[in-house]
């Protein structure tokens, strides 16, 4: 017998996982073209009217925080810093009761300029993506010569009081897989928390290949050529990163082994795309349309019902190792990473 979704309370799935963390994509557009994410020519972007308005975004976040148990809100994209209303959205979310913790995942372009306003609006933390410290590699990898802007963005985030400032790095074989120790040295020297993320089959070009992916084990082996790592006694919790103390601490490094060390059993996330679709998982092949309901005049009760139903259907795991695995139609940049 199929168990129906709950009609009230927090977002929960049939495996008992409770949602606390909401990821909201503010745009599918981006000013970089990372090779593991997008083709050089970009993608067919969502049209303006398809995007949730600032008010619609805040309404959904308010619902999630007040009625559905969300305590963490992360804005992402595409590149969230290019959304014109970003500072106002952050301010409106920071004014919610109960106030969620608010973070941002960004490529760092423009962060130097925007960080003070974002901090003043209520942004707590930031994750900046940076895969290499070599300007020529950066230009090859992102197809834009902007390393200096990212480094300035990181410094600007610290200066504005955003804490912690984390760095997300993806290693690719033959491209930057020799750079793990240098990235860690850089992060430790500047007080940034570094986390490596295994490359996932979420690129628009569908070019991911397991055999060429740099695995968590390989990342750790690379780091151990320069550092002594011991498992962080603080453990992992619902956070996807497994963390290690570097040379006895207090510096740390994280590895998110999404593919080889999946953490689906502890996942506490829900996602809303820039066009208002709820996704239970990065790898979900189904979406639930909140924008259509919003614009048809649905009340909070109805929106909550749809959201609970969407999460109830979350699969147990991403199934990348399943021979029947199908990469989702939307790429990472359109889902919100």
Tell me which residues touch ligand SAM (CB under 6 A).
30, 36-37, 76-77, 79, 105-107, 129, 168, 170, 197, 199-200, 202-203, 332-333, 337
If contact means CB under 5 to 8 A according to the sort of partner, which of ligand SF4, ligand SAM, none does residue 33 touch?
ligand SF4
86 interface partner picked from ligand SAM, ligand SF4, none, CB below 5 to 8 A per type: none
Angle between helices 180-190 and 147-159 (to 10 degrees): 30
Q: Which does 199 bind (CB under 5 to 8 A by kind): ligand SAM, ligand SF4, none?
A: ligand SAM
In terms of CB distance, is 76 or 288 closer to ligand SF4? 76
288 binds, among ligand SF4, ligand SAM, none (CB under 5 to 8 A by kind): none
Residue from 93, 113, 101, 100 nearest 157 by CA: 113
**What is the 3-state composition of the chain as percent helix, strand, coil, each rounded to the nearest 5?**
35, 15, 50
Beta strands, E only, the chain: 21-25, 72-76, 101-106, 125-129, 165-169, 193-197, 229-231, 242-246, 252-256, 269-272, 277-279, 288-289
The four Cα atoms 107, 112, 117, 123 give a dihedral, to 10 degrees, of: 40
Which of ligand SAM, ligand SF4, none does residue 197 bind to, with CB < 5 to 8 Å depending on kind? ligand SAM
- Residue selected from 25, 258, 288, 333 as contacting ligand SF4 according to rule CB under 6 A: 333
111 binds, among ligand SAM, ligand SF4, none (CB under 5 to 8 A by kind): none
Which option in ligand SF4, ligand SAM, none does residue 200 bind, with CB closer than 5 to 8 A by kind?
ligand SAM
CB of 315 to ligand SAM, least distance (A): 19
Closer to ligand SAM at the Cβ: 62 or 330? 330
Q: What is the smallest separation between the CB atom of 150 and ligand SF4, expressed in angstroms?
A: 10
Among ligand SF4, ligand SAM, none, what does residue 11 contact (CB within 5–8 Å per kind)? none
Provide the minimum distance between the beta carbon of 162 and ligand SAM in the complex, in angstroms, as a whole number: 14
Give the nearest residue (CB) to ligand SAM: 337
The rounded distance, in Å, linking the Cα atoms of 106 and 97 is 26
Q: Are 89 and 75 contacting, i.e. CB atoms less than 8 angstroms apart?
A: yes
Pair of tokens at residue 254: 């994280």
Among 45-53, 75-83, 175-183, 289-297, the segment contacting ligand SF4 (CB under 6 A):
75-83
The owner of tokens 């994509």 is 25
Residues with Cβ within 8 Å of 247's Cβ and at least 6 positions away in sequence, in order, are: 227, 228
- Residue from 12, 22, 24, 32 binding ligand SF4 (CB under 6 A): 32
* Residue 176, both tokens: 């930057």
Q: Which is nearer to ligand SF4, 11 or 259 (CB)?
A: 259
Q: 3-state DSSP call for residue 6?
A: coil
Instruction: Report the distance separating Cα 107 and Cα 144, nearest Å.
Output: 12
From the list 31-39, 44-52, 231-239, 287-295, the region that binds ligand SF4 by CB under 6 A is 31-39
Which stretches within the chain are classed as H helix?
Answer: 54-67, 86-94, 111-121, 135-142, 147-159, 180-190, 216-224, 290-295, 300-312, 332-335
Q: Which of 24, 34, 200, 311 binds ligand SF4 (CB under 6 A)?
A: 34
Contact residues for ligand SF4, defined by CB under 6 A = 30, 32-34, 37-38, 77-79, 107, 129, 333
């Amino acid at each position: 017998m199929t168990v129906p979704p709950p009609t009230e309370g927090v977002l929960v799935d049939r495996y008992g996982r409770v949602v606390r963390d909401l990821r909201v994509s503010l745009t599918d557009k981006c000013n970089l073209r990372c090779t593991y994410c997008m083709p050089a020519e970009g993608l067919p972007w969502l049209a303006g009217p398809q995007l949730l308005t600032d008010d619609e975004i805040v309404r959904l976040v308010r619902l999630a925080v007040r009625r559905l148990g969300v305590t963490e809100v992360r804005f992402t994209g595409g590149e969230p810093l290019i959304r014109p209303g970003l500072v106002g959205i952050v301010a409106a979310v920071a004014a919610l009761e109960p106030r969620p913790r608010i973070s941002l995942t960004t490529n760092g372009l423009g962060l130097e300029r925007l960080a003070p306003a974002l901090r003043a609006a209520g942004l707590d933390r930031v994750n900046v993506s940076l895969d290499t410290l070599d300007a020529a590699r950066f230009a090859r990898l992102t197809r834009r010569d902007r390393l200096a802007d990212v480094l300035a963005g990181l410094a600007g985030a610290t200066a504005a009081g955003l804490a912690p400032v984390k760095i997300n790095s993806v290693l690719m074989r033959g491209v930057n897989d020799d750079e793990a120790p240098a990235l860690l040295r850089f992060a430790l020297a500047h007080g940034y928390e570094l986390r490596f993320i295994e490359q996932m089959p979420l690129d628009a070009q569908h070019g991911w290949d397991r055999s060429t992916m740099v695995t968590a084990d390989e990342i750790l082996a690379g780091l151990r050529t320069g550092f002594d790592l011991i498992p962080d006694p603080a453990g992992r919790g619902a956070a996807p990163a497994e963390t290690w103390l570097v040379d006895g601490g207090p510096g740390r490094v994280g590895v998110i082994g999404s593919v080889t060390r999946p953490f689906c059993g502890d996942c506490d996330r829900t996602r809303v795309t820039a066009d208002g679709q709820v996704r239970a998982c990065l790898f979900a092949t189904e979406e639930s349309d909140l924008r259509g309901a919003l614009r048809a005049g649905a009340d909070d009760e109805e929106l909550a019902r749809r959201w609970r139903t969407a999460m109830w259907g979350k699969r147990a795991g991403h199934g990348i190792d399943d021979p029947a695995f199908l990469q989702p139609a939307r790429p990472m940049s359109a889902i919100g990473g």
